[in-house]
Amino acid sequence: EVQLLESGGGLVQPGGSLRLSCAASGFTFNKYDMSWVRQAPGKGLEWVSLISGPGDATYYDDSVKGRFTISRDDSKNALYLQMNNLRAEDTAVYYCANRGGLTGSLSFDYWGQGTLVTVSS
C-alpha cells in the first residue's frame, strides 16, 4: 500500500522558516517525480514545486521561487521542502504528491494527508 506522510507543519512568524518532510512507502521512490501542492484555507489547489525522479531537475511556481527549495533523499524515501522568508499568503495545507506511480503518466497519482502551515504574527 502506498503511503505518503507529511510532517513539519506548524505556526511560524512572517519572515521565518520551516522545513516540511514527506515519508514515502509502498512504491519505488527513486523512480518517480515528486511534488508539493498546497491549498489555502477554503481555496483551491496550487502547485508549488516538483523534483524529478533522479533528482537532477527542480521546478517552482513563481510565487515561491527563490524562497522555497525542494529536495529528496532516496536512501530514506523522503521528500523535503525548505521554506524561507515565509509570508502570510503561504498559509495552507501542504500536500506531498507522487507523479505517475499508479498510472505511469504525469498526473498526481498518490497524495498524502497534508500538513498545515500557518504564517502569522
Partner 1 sequence: VMTQSPVTLPVSPGERATLSCRASRSVRYYLAWYQQKPGQPPRLVIYDTSTRATGIPARFSGSGSGTEFTLTISSLQSEDFGVYYCQQYNNWPLTFGGGTNIEIK
Chain residues in the site for partner 1 (CB under 8 A): 35, 37, 44-47, 50, 59-62, 95, 102-103, 105-109, 111-114
Name the minimum Å distance from CB 39 to partner 1: 9
Q: How remote is the C-alpha of 50 from its chain's centroid?
A: 8
Residue 39, beta-bridge partner list: 45, 93
Phi, psi angle pair for 62, to nearest 5°: -60, -30
Name the minimum Å distance from CB 109 to partner 1: 5
Of 88 and 102, which has the nearer Cβ to partner 1?
Answer: 102
Query: Taking the CA of residue 101 as centre, how many other CA atoms within 13 Å lie in the half-sphere pointing to its CB?
Result: 25
Of 13 and 107, which has the nearer Cβ to partner 1?
Answer: 107
Name the minimum Å distance from CB 15 to partner 1: 25
Of 13 and 98, which has the nearer Cβ to partner 1?
Answer: 98
Residue 33, beta-bridge partner list: 99
Name the minimum Å distance from CB 40 to partner 1: 12
Q: Is 30 helix (H, G, I), strand (E, B) or coil?
A: helix
Of 58 and 82, which has the nearer Cβ to partner 1?
Answer: 58
CA distances from 78 to 42, 44, 51 (A): 28, 26, 12
